[in-house]
Amino acid sequence: MSDEDLDLLIAGLAVATGLPLDPAHRAGVAANFGRLLAQADLVMAVPLPPETEPAPIFRP
């Protein structure tokens, strides 16, 4: 993803989340969001069988 696309993505997600982003914070947010996307690639690459439940179990 180009830097421009990343900035557009962040701007759109920020609107959807109702999170105003100060222009002064955008570079730091982009660097961290890019790092998160790289981590997301790693978890999305794990082939999981359908029966693998999410880890937290709610016990009422």
Partner 1 sequence: MSLPDAPMGAAAIAGAVRSRTVTATRVATDALLRIEARNEALNTYTSVLAERALAEAHAVDAAMADGTNPGALAGVPYGVKSLFDVAGLCTRAGSIINGDLPPARQDAVLIRRMARHGAVLLGTQTMDEYAYGFTTENAHDGTTRNPHDASRVAGGSSGGSAASVAAGLGAVALASDTNGSIRVPASFCGVFGLKPTYGRLPRTGAFPFVFDLDHVGPLARTAEDLALVYDALQGADASDPACALRAVEPALPPLAKFPSGLRVGVLDGWFRDKANDDARAAVGQVADALGARALASLPGAEAARASAFLITAAQGANLHLANLRARASDFDPATRDRLLAGALLPAAFVLQAQRVRRWFSEQAAEVFRSFDILLAPATPCTATRIGQETLALDGVSYPVRPSLGLLTQPLSCIGLPIVCVPVCRAGALPIGVQIIAPPWREALALQVAAHLERIGAVRAASVA
> Which stretches of the chain bind partner 1, using CB under 8 A?
10, 13-14, 17-22, 25, 28-33, 35-36, 39-40, 42-46, 48, 52-56
Residue 3: CB minimum distance to partner 1, A? 15
Question: Which of 51, 2, 53, 57 lies closest to 30 in space, CA to CA?
Answer: 2
Which residues make Cβ contacts (< 8 Å) with residue 34, sequence separation at least 6? 6
User: Cβ closer to partner 1: 1 or 19?
Assistant: 19
Question: Which of 35, 37, 30, 40 lies closest to 4 in space, CA to CA?
Answer: 30
Residue 60: CB minimum distance to partner 1, A? 10
